Structure 1
Amino acid sequence: MKPEKPELLAPAGGMEAFIAAVENGADAVYLGARAFSARGYASNFSEKELEEAIDYAHLRGVKVYVTVNTLLKEEEVESALKLLSWLREIGTDAIIIQDLGLISLARKYLPDLPLHASTQMTLHNSEGVGFAKKMGIERVVLSRECSLEEIKRIKERTGTEIEVFIHGALCISYSGQCLLSSLIGGRSGNRGFCAQPCRKKYRLYCEGEKIKTTGSYLLSPKDLNTTSGLGALIEAGIGSFKIEGRMKRPEYVAGVVRIYRRLIDRYIENPAEYFVSEEEQEILTQLFNRGFTQGYFFENPRWELMNRENPHNRGVPAGTVTGYDRRLNRLRVKLSRPLRLGDGIMVENAETSPEDKGKIISSMYTRKGPVYSAGVGDMVEIPFDSRAPSGSTVYRTHDKKLMDSLKKESESGNLRPKIPVYITATISCGRPVRLEVKDRDSNTVTIESEYLVEKAEKQPTSKVRIEKQLSKLGNTIFEAAELHVTMEEDVFIPVGQLNELRTTAIEQLENLRISRWKRKPLDTLQSYESGEKGSEKRESIDKGSEERESVEKASQEAEKTIQGRLPIHPTLSVSVYSLEGLEGALAGGADRIYFGEGLFRKPKKTEQEDGSAKGKESDSVFEKAVSETQKAGKDIYFITPKLVKDSKMESVKKIFSRVRKLGADGVLVSNLGTLGLAKAGKIPFIADSPLNIFNSRTSAFILQKGAQMAVISPELTLEELKSIASHGPAECIVYGRLELMESEHCLTGGLLGNNKGQCSAPCRSGKFTLVDEKNYEFPLLMDYECRMHLLNSRSLCMLEYLPEILESGVSSLRVETLGMDNPDEIRKVTRAYRRAIDTYLETGKKGPVNCEKLGKGFTTGHYFRGVQ
């Protein structure tokens, strides 16, 4: 029994790449509109181009998914919803989406529009995928860090269609959880404008001492290539195989899609004889690579995930440097592969700037003089401004002949197999010719000629002639698979009449193949367009006055419930990760404690770490934490991990059990899986900032799902915060080092572990930091799942602006102590915020302490500058 064939899903950043994807065998293409697309730097598609692209694809039996997968600011929600409505009407097959608020609106107002959860939603466990399914998500693009076994388990437990990336660039951070580009330069990856600072140089330090590393690009992963393991992915029943690359050239899309089309079909046809040829692998390598990895599908690749020497495309080795002619500024190279004018090269160890990605060959010389091309074994001289040591490898990063060929073939329109049609003609004297044309997708066109068939006076029109004319489908996308002609004898039909009839039928079939996907406008959007825009009070959807009154009353009651949770005085929350930190926070005047003992490894071995339980924490630690907090008359919530695979979900349930057993007030949740689990278990919970709460719609959705409070994204400005805080209980982070990324790759273990793939737990030997090219220091933390947490180089401090924060209407202000070990420092910071809050509430004035008295090197984050 043959395995089910997965969908091959290709990227397109523009119309040329789109056509290349379709013509080279994609089953579906994903692309972005000019707004709200997670590849803001791609050319993307205008409205006219979008409709043309969708029609082009549907005519050829290819699906189109449009990415509206960025987080939305308050003022963008209405425009995004209108965009979805229009995309629905023009026949978009599905929307790839991230923003929880937009998902809730789409399900409410556009119920027949299929939604696919973007990998930006960080869905990586069964509970989270199940939660998304209940929201109305039909397909989930899982986090790239999921193993094949985890994918199988999620699919089996949820019954949800799964999509995974199989080729292209990898992010070092879990998608949807990276603030590195955002906080360094204001270009948010969550908004589609990642500046890729992970591809820059970094240095590793431990306790202030620099550690020698192989390569300087310590956060730059290799590219994904699953060709050798493709069969196992097919056998797992994954629904869609996705190629990354909306920023890539059309020729890249053409070549990669063509090869994966061939490989998938090869495996389906004969799994036992599956192979990847050297030519196929070389083409993939030539098109673009930073080195290849199979990612996390089959094992944790550890240091083999990374390419620390070069963050750019390195192509294929093409020769070796033998010398340099200083007089002519020419590099002497002995070739191991052919080179031609127009090819691009990069030279290993060349004295070029770090950002120099290579050179296009405009001239090349042998002893005989200038040449257009040279072959294997030839000695050539290439003009080159920089020297390189003899023995250095020359890489061909751009193969002009290959790229020209891919471009020409993709534009020819001859690559994609013709669509078979079944033609039936009925011909009788004195009657119109009746022609039926049907395709394999059950589209049928039946037409009759205006011409009435005549009795032949001399030369009758033969059946062979009629069949020949009707089967001439020329440059159309169709071919006649079967043709049946039923006719009387001695009839005459002019050839022109047959041609006209055939042409009309084919045109109608083309229109039918396109138009069947179009959808009629819905009137359900009228209430939003007429003024709802975020208010829960206006629910009219043309359902009759009685139902409108019922819906409005229910909405008012829901709003009263939410507003009833708003405190008279804002609370001060402090996140701590040890008993000592908890004591410091309580002594400083915290109202609420978030307790995360055991989440992170500590540099020095402690008695707790000698136990056998994960995190080495004991119930007695939590019992004491609850006891001390309650003795002080304060609230305590246990922090759950941001990322929890299925195999580790029992640890979350253990935290829930502690809440019940010890009488804690609830938990802090950071992903949809733990949120859904807490809701099902009736555990009180607060929704933390990794859930990317960016607008009032998302906040309302989270609160309606049972959250006591929503922690707002740190990417929002103070003004943007106000628009959310007025809709329900909201918390904002006002102090601490924000977490910039969480990665499945342990950088210290990868760099300092042994060559047998074993980690010596160097994270226990001291405090590690990454230092960038501007000498900013980014602390590293490791957790008990060996994940890396990168913290911001500066602590957020909003002490001087506390009046503005309080006036925004937030319910709670949060001090984050991640990376702070000194309980006295935690007490000092907490006390400063306590006094500032109390002073303002009592006098309406600023408190006596400012950030300078807490230390140096603070930032106000995005509260005043925002993100792109």
Structure 2
Amino acid sequence: MHKPEIMSPAGYWPQLHAAIEAGADAVYFGLTHFTARAKVGFTLDELPEVMRTLHRRGVKGYVTFNTLVFDHELRTAARTLAAIAAAGADAIIVQDLGIAALAHQIVPDLPIHGSTQMSITSAEGVAFAARYGVSRVVLARELSLAEVAAIRSRSPIELEIFVHGALCVSYSGQCFSSEAWGGRSANRGQCAQACRLPYELIVDGKPRPLGAARYLLSPGDLAAIDDMTTIARLGVSALKIEGRYKDAEYVAITTNAYRRALDAVWAGLPSDLTVADRLYLEQVYSRGLGPHFLRGTNHQAVVEGRAPRHRGLLMGRVVRVRADAIIIIPERGREAAPLKPGDGVVFDAADWRSPEEPEEGGRIFTVEPVGDGLLAIRFAKGAINPRRIRAGDLLWRTSDPQTERIARPFVQAAAPARRQPVRVTALVRAGAPLELHWSLIAQPSLTVTVQSPTPLTTAQNRPLDETTLREQLGRLGDTPYQLTELNAVIEGNPFVPVSLLNQLRRQATAALAELQGRPPAMNILDPEQVLDTMLAAVAPSAPPDTAQIHLLIRSPDQLEAAIALQPASITLDYLDLEGLKPAVTRVRAAGIAVRVAAPRVLKPEDERVARFLRKLNVPLLVRSTGLLDRLRDDPTVELTGDFSLNAANILTADLLLRSGLQRLTLTHDLNAEQIAHLAERIGGSRLEAIVYHHLPVFHTEHCVFCRFLSTGTSYKDCGRPCERHHVALRDTHGRAHPVIADVGCRNTVFGAEAQEASKYLDRWRAAGIAHYRLEFVHETAAQITAVTEAFRAYLQEEIDAAELGRRWRQSAPQGVTEGSFFVPANYQYIPLM
């Protein structure tokens, strides 16, 4: 078992330097393109200097290449991958499976890490990624430590887990809210954070008051610092701190805390982290810290719902408001970091104030005790409006000058705060040149030798001794090194001037830094030739099919209407597993092909679900690479890949189709024209296009039903409100987005409006697409019938696409939208040459 890396984020140079000084083993960062944090990053021209900076300090650098890549970008992506390797990157972090395969072909020696956006939650998912060159997988943040241990026991490659920072409410890689509502793809680095907006809970058609809980999809932040003893022994390779949008102070404080905690545990020592250290972790940035999913499921703990942004530390509650001061009762446990002048605070009035109203707050001018344990806090004249503050409001400290002082040694280090231990072997003989062999203890293969230009003479008065030698060689000043071990052979009473020792020390440290900064030798193949070879190997297009309608329904109430329509197939996407068997029998009896939709997430404990699905002996709609890996070599089961496999380019589509899929639905990150072009390249009969559905905007482990309609913590004690109630989340625009739970109690929030492709159907048919799916969420039998019959009339050329669109607008419960199908007016197709 190896000691895991502490892995820190860097948006740019200040954060990178802070991570180095605070003790990171590795830093991850993006370039200005192909990165999931599009607002920050280094240019490709800066990358060689970034890697030299890191390597000279003994720190690894991992480049995030973690977006889905479109066809017209493949050639640029191939060249960029080669340049990243040439710059000396220690690994790339990749979401797109096709890009992983491409990178592995271009640079076989470059480690590839599968991003958490691959949505991997099982050992099978890890194995699938490993097939395409991935050497480490960043597991989904929704796994418990026990589940991580189970995956680790069966994993053929390294694993990495998040230990600190913001949580997405949706499984990473499975969020389409930004795409649906803003035309900005989260899988392309443009997350709009719709999860941080206020929503109203609608239960069975009526609003459900929730008091201060307004932000129903905004999780607290992850903190695993108190679980380090367990985490250190899991056998994972890296502990990841989230935060490429965070400032250098955040990077410094979090990195240093986890560095110290891990080092103590690994050495078998008690942690030296104080109460104040833990408070400053929360102070520097948090929405409220907790272990959340790492300790198992507790739906009452993940989303508190009062606020969506940084809160810092809860410092107290307002007791009364005076004309000259606000009187608060302090929060217990804050004695190590009390309120003081200069602190920035905010008054949390979520109990009574609208989410749209700005909060009251400012910097404290004075703090003084007023008896009975109460404090009076005052602000500069005009800094706050006391009329907007009420008794009962919570007081949060959002900024603290003391936090800045704690971070300063790492953020503004005059000399390296973190040094690398070195070993020096000295051969000091009168009559021979002085030889010094310098090597890094952590990397013994990195060794430099320096020697005096002339032989040493014999000392007349003061020959060199080991004490003097150690003292002079240990004066490493502003270098990143620390003399830890000296092995000296001193013979013949040699005379060595101090100036010579200083000169050789400077030569050695400069040579050692230069050696460390060199990029490792890698075999980099011609990226364009590799890409051309892979494109040439794409399976040839299959002959075109006749147009077919496939329906997907989500409740037994919709089944009879679907059967009556006699489509080519019916896909059952049910909450209740047991309800599937009679439904399968019913569809088969009607002479219709039946298919069952698998869950998007299968964890180690979901083995029974996978076995059940296999025993149904029906075709499956596969939504995870873990299930695909399990079934890929089974010729008895027919598999269709769903959108959640995130195929955005021809390489990934071909890779997935070669993995046992009969057909594939492309990711919702593609617009309608991109779908058409990819169909023309790979063969329209190999694709299944969704032409009418409610976009699944969030897919989350957090259960809205359990959190807000029960007092339970999981399916074991929640009372299963998902089986009795229809729930929707109404946004500030008045749209009610349906929420449905799956067999694993995970929730999917669907877009209120139906996304429909009527405007693009003529184009899709010309591109050879013949398999079309209509998906229903909360539609009635009459609406299902109207939507399907209109589409059938279009396929039979009884109506045109414009009339189809008009009929769908009439049938959809909350209207329709182009959503992710939308093609901008300035869109230009760039062919993949």
Offset, 1:380:
2.8
Distance 1:471 1:283, change over 3 A: closer
For the pair 1:711 / 2:665, whether they are aligned, the reply is yes
| 2:588 aligned to which of 626, 639, 642 | 626
Paired residues of 1:144 and 1:164 also in contact (CA < 8 A):
yes
Offset, 1:203:
0.7
Offset, 1:393:
3.2
Q: Tell me which residue corresponds to 1:343.
A: 343
| 1:270 aligned to which of 260, 268, 271 | 268
Paired residues of 1:451 and 1:497 also in contact (CA < 8 A):
no
- Whole-Å Cα distance in 1 between the matches of residues 760 and 444 of structure 2? 65
Paired residues of 2:647 and 2:653 also in contact (CA < 8 A):
yes
Q: Tell me which residue corresponds to 1:250.
A: 248
Offset, 1:623:
2.5
Q: State the Cα deviation string for residues 809-831 of structure 1 (Å, max 9, x = none).
A: 32422111233342x33232222
Offset, 1:490:
5.9
Paired residues of 1:322 and 1:332 also in contact (CA < 8 A):
yes
Q: State the Cα deviation string for residues 94-115 of structure 1 (Å, max 9, x = none).
A: 1111011111211222211111
Offset, 1:345:
0.8
Q: State the Cα deviation string for residues 562-605 of structure 1 (Å, max 9, x = none).
A: x12x4243332221345664553454352233233xx225xxxx
Distance 1:408 1:473, change over 3 A: closer
SS of the residue corresponding to residue 364 of structure 1 reads strand
Paired residues of 2:31 and 2:44 also in contact (CA < 8 A):
yes
SS of the residue corresponding to residue 163 of structure 1 reads strand
SS of the residue corresponding to residue 572 of structure 1 reads strand
Offset, 1:408:
4.0
Q: Tell me which residue corresponds to 1:443.
A: 445
Paired residues of 1:334 and 1:379 also in contact (CA < 8 A):
no
| 2:514 aligned to which of 511, 514, 519 | 511
| 2:481 aligned to which of 461, 478, 483 | 478
Letter of the 1:576 partner, please give it: I
Offset, 1:274:
5.4
Paired residues of 1:431 and 1:453 also in contact (CA < 8 A):
yes
For residues 301-450 of structure 1, the aligned pairs below 5 Å read 301-321=298-318, 338-340=338-340, 342-349=342-349, 354=356, 356=358, 359-361=361-363, 364=365, 377=375, 379-382=377-380, 383-385=383-385, 387-412=388-413, 416-428=417-429, 431-440=432-441, 441-449=443-451
- Whole-Å Cα distance in 2 between the matches of residues 848 and 335 of structure 1? 60
- Whole-Å Cα distance in 2 between the matches of residues 367 and 790 of structure 1? 48
SS of the residue corresponding to residue 629 of structure 2 reads helix
Distance 1:366 1:287, change over 3 A: closer
- Whole-Å Cα distance in 2 between the matches of residues 756 and 150 of structure 1? 18
- Whole-Å Cα distance in 1 between the matches of residues 723 and 432 of structure 2? 91
Q: TM-score, normalised by structure 1?
A: 0.86
Q: Tell me which residue corresponds to 2:189.
A: 192
Distance 1:418 1:657, change over 3 A: same
Offset, 1:259:
1.3
Letter of the 2:575 partner, please give it: F
Offset, 1:496:
3.5
Paired residues of 2:758 and 2:802 also in contact (CA < 8 A):
no
Letter of the 1:810 partner, please give it: I
Letter of the 1:462 partner, please give it: L
Aligned residues: 803
- Whole-Å Cα distance in 2 between the matches of residues 79 and 493 of structure 1? 57
Distance 1:421 1:651, change over 3 A: closer
SS of the residue corresponding to residue 839 of structure 1 reads coil
Q: State the Cα deviation string for residues 518-566 of structure 1 (Å, max 9, x = none).
A: 334623424147xx2x9732xxxxxxxxxxxxxxxxx3xx633xx12x4
SS of the residue corresponding to residue 24 of structure 2 reads coil
Offset, 1:297:
2.1
Offset, 1:207:
2.3
Q: Tell me which residue corresponds to 1:720.
A: 674
SS of the residue corresponding to residue 123 of structure 1 reads coil
- Whole-Å Cα distance in 1 between the matches of residues 330 and 581 of structure 2? 66
Offset, 1:301:
1.1
Q: Tell me which residue corresponds to 1:171.
A: 168
Q: Tell me which residue corresponds to 2:26.
A: 28
Q: Tell me which residue corresponds to 1:14.
A: 12
SS of the residue corresponding to residue 296 of structure 1 reads helix
Distance 1:280 1:864, change over 3 A: same
SS of the residue corresponding to residue 583 of structure 2 reads helix
Distance 1:274 1:481, change over 3 A: closer
Distance 1:766 1:426, change over 3 A: closer
- Whole-Å Cα distance in 1 between the matches of residues 402 and 436 of structure 2? 47
- Whole-Å Cα distance in 1 between the matches of residues 676 and 415 of structure 2? 56
Q: State the Cα deviation string for residues 159-195 of structure 1 (Å, max 9, x = none).
A: 3322111111111111111112221222222112111
| 1:559 aligned to which of 529, 534, 539 | 539
Q: Tell me which residue corresponds to 1:44.
A: 41
SS of the residue corresponding to residue 677 of structure 2 reads helix
- Whole-Å Cα distance in 1 between the matches of residues 377 and 739 of structure 2? 48
For the pair 1:670 / 2:623, whether they are aligned, the reply is yes
Offset, 1:141:
1.1
For the pair 1:685 / 2:646, whether they are aligned, the reply is no
- Whole-Å Cα distance in 2 between the matches of residues 587 and 396 of structure 1? 61
| 1:593 aligned to which of 570, 581, 586 | 570
- Whole-Å Cα distance in 2 between the matches of residues 298 and 73 of structure 1? 38
SS of the residue corresponding to residue 444 of structure 2 reads coil
For residues 480-559 of structure 1, the aligned pairs below 5 Å read 480-487=483-490, 489=492, 491-515=494-518, 517-520=519-522, 522-528=524-530, 532=532, 536-537=535-536, 555=537, 559=539
Offset, 1:508:
1.2
Offset, 1:300:
0.8
- Whole-Å Cα distance in 2 between the matches of residues 213 and 578 of structure 1? 28
Letter of the 1:512 partner, please give it: L
Offset, 1:734:
0.8
Paired residues of 1:426 and 1:434 also in contact (CA < 8 A):
yes
Percentage identity across aligned positions?
Answer: 29
Offset, 1:413:
5.6
Q: Tell me which residue corresponds to 1:371.
A: none
Distance 1:456 1:268, change over 3 A: closer
Q: Tell me which residue corresponds to 1:119.
A: 116
> Alpha carbon RMSD of aligned pairs, Å?
3.1
Offset, 1:514:
2.1
Q: Tell me which residue corresponds to 1:837.
A: 795
Distance 1:66 1:697, change over 3 A: same
Q: State the Cα deviation string for residues 762-787 of structure 1 (Å, max 9, x = none).
A: 22333211101111110111223222
- Whole-Å Cα distance in 1 between the matches of residues 447 and 668 of structure 2? 56
Q: Tell me which residue corresponds to 2:830.
A: none
Paired residues of 1:186 and 1:866 also in contact (CA < 8 A):
no
- Whole-Å Cα distance in 1 between the matches of residues 255 and 282 of structure 2? 14
Offset, 1:656:
2.4
Offset, 1:672:
0.3
Q: Comparing 809-818 with 440-449, which one deviates more in the overlay?
A: 440-449
Paired residues of 1:333 and 1:380 also in contact (CA < 8 A):
no
- Whole-Å Cα distance in 1 between the matches of residues 207 and 377 of structure 2? 42
Letter of the 2:520 partner, please give it: K
Distance 1:845 1:323, change over 3 A: closer
Distance 1:426 1:585, change over 3 A: same
Paired residues of 2:214 and 2:355 also in contact (CA < 8 A):
no
| 1:733 aligned to which of 680, 690, 694 | 690
For the pair 1:748 / 2:705, whether they are aligned, the reply is yes
| 2:769 aligned to which of 810, 832, 840 | 810
